[in-house]
Structure 1
């Protein structure tokens, strides 16, 4: 849904009920649950959330020991347990009943580990970082002893969660939730029919690594580098970007820079990308950089940023990052990016999975310094983008509101 009416986005809205302040933020203990330690978008957002959170709440984390995403959190005072079972890849999406059964057993095993955890027993509130983590947490606490906040980071659809994951999440996790955080209005809307009336819910932008914004952009006179950031995954559309780039810039001195690596046994797509680069005749113009830790530095190295997802994106972290760095952006229509991009004001929108349209938009930007400068200025002026610290404060307020609502409900029942 494109925003063409001139209204500012509303990334942070508490829908129900009003904020509470039950405990001093530094005294509240929140257990965060992650179903993986692979450095995907949800996991990196959680790392940013917890890296400097001590002034807001006491953070604990339970996760598997199958990746490096959370390695640096101990240095930020976060106590970790890395003993949750890793989930089998493809367990929610495949048509195999055997694989789905293995996935369910792994979730139930994880729930047993989580329920016995000292960190779980000591927590004032549990925050499930993903849909799979929410299913695990719901299994672990069927009696509802701990307030549970479920984080919606993916659209609640079968395309996003898979057939089995969708059914388990909507029937088990959302029914158990005491509060829901969504990363965009689009994501929240996809879950509304499964949320009970009066359930606390809030749209909060995920922290995307912003500590300051570029307020005075100075676009170069010529386009030399066009960039894309994101996990190497087919629906993220790196292949669409490369086809568009080849149509627009093959044989020129313009370079395509792609930051991102495959996760969860997705190396086949990386190999496909490398073959495609050769087939398109642009191998000497493409930089495949792999995972990049310094995203702001990467963004500052390119003249145009591309978002090319082939289906609606729940948030589109890279779009917010690009706006914060005052870059001209071309993004695909639909989902979270459409809540931030106002076409012709702070970016351009093109249909998904359309290399020709994307290539034409890139040529249009490359041919007009005036258009790039105008979009960069519009990006710099985009309202509502939160720094990571502001995101932490919003999460803290919501956690306290959910805690308060549960406490008030308990008092009413006791009375």
Structure 2
């Protein structure tokens, strides 16, 4: 089966890294990829047997959230131009199935697929709401892309539910975990007697809540020997947020306790070096890959309620849940864990025993089974015609 994966960017955001992980686990399909030039998310795929074509035009930054009609029109024109480029690609013509990796990619693929019978599968990686996608992005995705899709893969039940009333009844649906860089799980937790390192992993982006984390950390640990580690880098228009975070650390008098690591490649090693992991998104997270990564490494974890994390965490059993955008609640949870090695060990053991967390190879197997449903359906249709 020849599957064409389409990405609207080559930069390493969560969606792009998830796709790259999917395609580096020797998938049982012939993988092809179309994306714009630039970025480092897909740099190693050609060496893994994936045919990569980087010719799609780049989309304007901020187009989905802009209130400017001019920028929105420019963004829509760029989507149409990308669709035209995609339609002319020989990879597009050779595909048995097209997989759009993001909402923007889905709009591109929907435009390009007009008049073609090749199935289109869209990955829902963000909540399908105006708040999550921006008003223009939400309108464009729900009106232009979703009516034309044949299948959707959602990264959580919450994500799928957010799109349910917009999906035609004929659309095949699956909730599949996204690859998170997991090769094997830790089954025997190692918990130090005291908390020395508290970490947060993820793209530096305001809604991810790194500012909430810093305020909570300052409340709980200012002037102590505990250090905070922020792993992740800003992308696109978010560079100013990193400077804001650095200034906030100075304002809170914790600058000498905070380390900004930037992008890291070895996620398991970072998690293993932490005593407590924090997820601090200020609005519901579609999946929360860092939650799965921390649980797979059997680490004590604090996360905000809502969305994907609440589907995985049983508060007090395999992690702690706190209200979003409440640094005082997060600080209380941090102090509680710091003061109780017994609680940290119990949560780590609960995380290690959490069922259902898949390795990257298992994620690929699940995706392959869903993709194959469309090949089987096409085969049945063809037999019926005969």
Match 2:254 to one of 278, 282, 285: 282
Q: Distance in 1 between matches of 2:158 and 2:248?
A: 33
Give the deviation of 1:145 after TM superposition.
2.1
> SS of 1:64's equivalent?
coil
Which residue does the alignment assign to 1:117? 89
Give the deviation of 1:144 after TM superposition.
3.6
Q: Distance in 1 between matches of 2:219 and 2:323?
A: 16
Match 1:200 to one of 164, 172, 197: 172
TM-score normalized by the length of structure 1: 0.92
Corresponding position: 1:77 with 2:49: yes
Contact 1:92 1:100 in 2 (8 A): yes
Give the deviation of 1:199 after TM superposition.
1.7
Corresponding position: 1:374 with 2:349: no
Could you list the per-position Cα deviations for residues 25-64 of structure 1 after superposition, in whole angstroms to 9, with x for gaps in the alignment? Answer: xxx110000000110000000000000234x101000000
Which residue does the alignment assign to 1:96? 68
Match 1:129 to one of 66, 80, 101: 101
Corresponding position: 1:239 with 2:239: no
Contact 2:62 2:237 in 1 (8 A): no
- Show the 5 A alignment for 1:7-406: 28-54=1-27, 56-406=28-378
Give the deviation of 1:408 after TM superposition.
3.2
TM-score normalized by the length of structure 2: 0.98
Q: Distance in 2 between matches of 1:156 and 1:214?
A: 34
Of the structure 1 ranges 194-203 and 401-410, higher mean CA displacement relative to structure 2 is found in 401-410
Could you list the per-position Cα deviations for residues 372-409 of structure 1 after superposition, in whole angstroms to 9, with x for gaps in the alignment? Answer: 00000000000000000000000000001023224434
> SS of 1:209's equivalent?
coil
Q: Distance in 1 between matches of 2:115 and 2:220?
A: 58
Could you list the per-position Cα deviations for residues 235-278 of structure 1 after superposition, in whole angstroms to 9, with x for gaps in the alignment? Answer: 00000000000000000000000000000121110110010010
Contact 1:127 1:150 in 2 (8 A): yes
Q: Distance in 1 between matches of 2:64 and 2:107?
A: 12
Q: Distance in 2 between matches of 1:135 and 1:407?
A: 27
Contact 1:230 1:259 in 2 (8 A): yes
Give the deviation of 1:113 after TM superposition.
0.5
Could you list the per-position Cα deviations for residues 177-203 of structure 1 after superposition, in whole angstroms to 9, with x for gaps in the alignment? Answer: 111100000000000001111421100
Q: Distance in 1 between matches of 2:37 and 2:383?
A: 39
Gap regions ≥5 residues in structure 2: none
Contact 1:152 1:181 in 2 (8 A): yes
Q: Distance in 1 between matches of 2:300 and 2:114?
A: 48
Q: How big is the alpha-carbon RMSD for the aligned residues of Structure 1 and Structure 2?
A: 1.0
Count residues with an aligned counterpart.
386
Contact 1:111 1:140 in 2 (8 A): yes
Q: Distance in 1 between matches of 2:217 and 2:116?
A: 52
Give the deviation of 1:146 after TM superposition.
1.1
Q: Distance in 2 between matches of 1:43 and 1:385?
A: 20
Contact 2:130 2:138 in 1 (8 A): yes
Q: Distance in 1 between matches of 2:255 and 2:137?
A: 38
Structure with the greater relative contact order (CA < 8 A, sep ≥ 6): 1 or 2?
Answer: 1
Q: Distance in 1 between matches of 2:137 and 2:237?
A: 18
Contact 1:259 1:288 in 2 (8 A): yes
Give the deviation of 1:133 after TM superposition.
0.2
Contact 2:191 2:344 in 1 (8 A): yes
Q: Which runs of 4+ in 1 moved over 3 A?
A: 406-412
Q: Distance in 1 between matches of 2:375 and 2:121?
A: 10
Contact 1:312 1:334 in 2 (8 A): yes
Q: Distance in 1 between matches of 2:278 and 2:296?
A: 14
Q: Distance in 1 between matches of 2:192 and 2:117?
A: 57
